[in-house]
Chain A
């Protein structure tokens, strides 16, 4: 530009213009090209998540689950479709609306439910609860309760892969509200500058708690924010499982080839309130009804039946299996013991810290460590 002749760019440029993106996600595959048993498994996983959360909500209102509970009803296709696109050696990190993500990653439903119940067999030893699920063995680095805080961590994980020259990618999931935090900005800037292998998957459910997106940001087509960092970006339908899988898979391929991060904005909706304590005064019943017509599970079932790749009977069997899995998870959680108070300090410090201190614990700091 010759010395500032007006605007640098028009607002909200078209994706793909000016070399900003030059990237589009792969389209979803034809259903008939997929093995039917795999499609049925996706359906079953989504039903497990739906039942799991409904039973958790019940237990919460009965006072059997303490703390917070944030449900993701309506966002199941994102969890199952997104994770189906990852390799087992890839990393996963997400926000506090994390039950479906944990289950889709393969964490044991019983241990996840036990975590919600605050029991010793929970995936985080009963210390984290609903918002802090984690499963290091599956490279699932947690639900994070502070909005946006895990995005720089995701960039850090990706930096480790780049540094070690390992072909791993990081899938980082967050909501629309997180895109207004400073942490989002710092993470996307560094990831873009250093071309880190991370997929930023924004679940745009149109509300940051009770704040509609247009009241929290002027650029409401969130994928356009990627342009401000020179990151390939796209908007996808988060209610369609195979569209999500294809988009995340193509983003992962891009990142794995060392071309840097990708920013995906998945349009979705949560059918329940922000948390169990939300009266939902900020949205209308008509709006909720309209989005229920896009229910990712019903939509997927309908597509499977219309394509003739599964039978109604197979779907019913999957429904029953899902219910059984969740009932078993509840039973497991209920029989799991409370954490032993003697283990209260476990996991606070790494054990070698105690060894590094003077004999007898010095001034008392660390004397209690195992």
Chain B
């Protein structure tokens, strides 16, 4: 079913669904705060790129609700994530800070993910159980199955969340990773942030089925499609998947339909392949104003609160930017560090 047909979801927003799902008012305020921080950080990254300070920027704008909804369903003290490059909001929930992200963007020595070696948005943290990633699309999927196998063997009860775009689901890595996890009933959640384009290739030219979730049929696992711009729906279906995974029932494939509001990356001009009307239509469904409206409607925040939050987030982004700008680059004599193991 096309995402455009899911208009009834907007109506469901009117009914304070977060409480039905067991989310507190504070949860919802915090979800919004992370989404806003992710958005403003992302915007700053583009400015730094366009002013020649950052070599590259790759955007998660538009995906924030999907990421935050999924993250909220997991246990941040125990579970593993295998994010991909759009997951700014996800890794912020998981404990990376705006300073961490800006240090990586500018390639500084103190970048916790790679000491200034990786491209922007290639997150990792051993401490926070954020697995490092390759730029090669889809490689994290079998790796996540491997981490889930380890959790199963060690009996830790940990669940692994691995994220990727719909383009990655056409990769062989996807097939091998999901098949293996299905056979061995591994505690892993395959979370596809389907934004309709693999760089410039529209989904109908890369997928032979209407929904990525249909692919679950070939593996004998549950497949769920959800509105990725609705953080509560995403939370609900991911939480169900987490419950199945912890109960030993194996993996799930979840497809969050969403849209990236900007180009693929700072090296891409999306006006060559996306009609402006389409982008504009999706801007009307931007998850941030939707959740802001929800907050106001349910008395969780008023305009003054939202304004104060904007100011607080701006200060965080300014602080991270200035901190990273002032930080030293890696030293040339450290060039070969981390190339081979100790």
Contacts and interface: CB of A to CB of B under 8 A. Distances in A.
A302 to B, nearest CB: 37
A218 B219 contact: yes
B297 interface: no
B208 A192 contact: yes
B183 A217 contact: yes
A8 B213 CA distance: 7
Interface stretch (A58-66, A163-171, A226-234, A249-257): A226-234
A224 interface: yes
A216 B183 contact: yes
Contacts of A217: 179, 182-183, 219
**Which of B173, B218, B224: most chain A CB closer than 10 A?**
B218
Nearest to B236: A4
Interface string A1-29: 11110111101110000000000000000
B230 A182 contact: no
B205 interface: yes
B206 interface: yes
A206 to B, nearest CB: 16
If over half of B's interface residues share one DSSP class (helix, strand or loop), that class is named, otherwise mixed; here it is helix
Contacts of B328: none
Nearest to B169: A189
Q: How large is the interface on A (under 10, 10 to 19, 20 to 34, 35 or more residues)?
A: 35 or more
Interface string B197-233: 0000000111111010111111111111111001001
Interface string A165-204: 0000000000000001111111011101100000000000
A345 interface: no
A215 interface: yes
Contacts of A1: 1, 225
A218 B171 contact: no
A186 B172 contact: yes
A138 interface: no
B6 to A, nearest CB: 6
A8 B211 contact: yes
Interface of B: 1, 6, 8-9, 12, 170-176, 179, 182-183, 204-209, 211, 213-227, 230, 233, 236-237, 254
Interface of A: 1-4, 6-9, 11-13, 180-186, 188-190, 192-193, 215-219, 224-225, 227-231
Given A229-B208, A230-B214, 20 more contacts: A2-B6, A3-B12, A7-B222, A7-B224, A8-B223, A8-B225, A182-B173, A184-B172, A184-B175, A189-B208, A216-B183, A217-B179, A218-B182, A224-B218, A225-B218, A228-B214, A228-B215, A229-B209, A230-B209, A231-B208
10 contacts: A3-B6, A3-B12, A4-B227, A9-B214, A9-B217, A185-B170, A185-B172, A218-B220, A224-B217, A228-B216
